[in-house]
């Protein structure tokens, strides 16, 4: 199970939208609708943002949305805010356990 591929970094200005991609294979992202996304601030525990590709847990802002096309899933953050600056990780079911992406650092300019 190889890690899913994410861009190392993305950036955006307050109020803008950014999209983070997560590319896998037909054995993980493309094979199941079980993609989740987590936000992690430095020194903190990861926080669930999106599950089952598009679903948001209660309490998570609707500025966060997820989608998937083929072997690539995406997380879009709209109306960027300073507190969105963090690391973001995707995760997909891969037939036995899950597999995470390498992470993307979001910088809010």
Partner 1 sequence: EVQLVQSGAEVKKPGESLKISCKVSGYDFSSYWLGWVRQKPGKGPEWMGIIYPTDSDTRYSPSFQGQVTISADKSISTAYLQWSSLKASDTAMYYCARRPDSRTWYVDYWGQGTLVTVSS
Confirm or reject binding of residue 22 to partner 1 (CB under 8 A).
no
Among 3, 17, 26, 109, binds partner 1 (CB under 8 A): 3
**Beta-carbon count within 10 A of 20 CB:** 23
Calpha distance 33→93 (Å, rounded): 8
Least separation in angstroms between residue 10's CB and partner 1 is 15
Size of the site for partner 1 (CB under 8 A): 24
Footprint on this chain of partner 1 (rule: CB under 8 A): 1, 3, 32, 34, 36, 38, 45-46, 48, 51-52, 57, 89, 91-93, 96-103
């Amino acid at each position: 199970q190889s890690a899913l591929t994410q861009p190392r970094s993305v950036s955006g200005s307050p109020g803008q939208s950014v999209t983070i991609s997560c590319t896998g294979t037909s054995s993980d992202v493309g094979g199941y609708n079980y993609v989740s996304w987590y936000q992690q601030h430095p020194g903190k525990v990861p926080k669930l943002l999106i599950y089952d590709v598009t679903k948001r847990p209660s309490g998570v802002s609707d500025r966060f949305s997820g989608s998937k096309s083929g072997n690539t899933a995406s997380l879009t953050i709209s109306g960027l805010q300073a507190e969105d600056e963090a690391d973001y990780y995707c995760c997909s079911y891969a037939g036995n356990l899950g597999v995470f992406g390498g992470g993307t650092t979001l910088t809010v300019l």
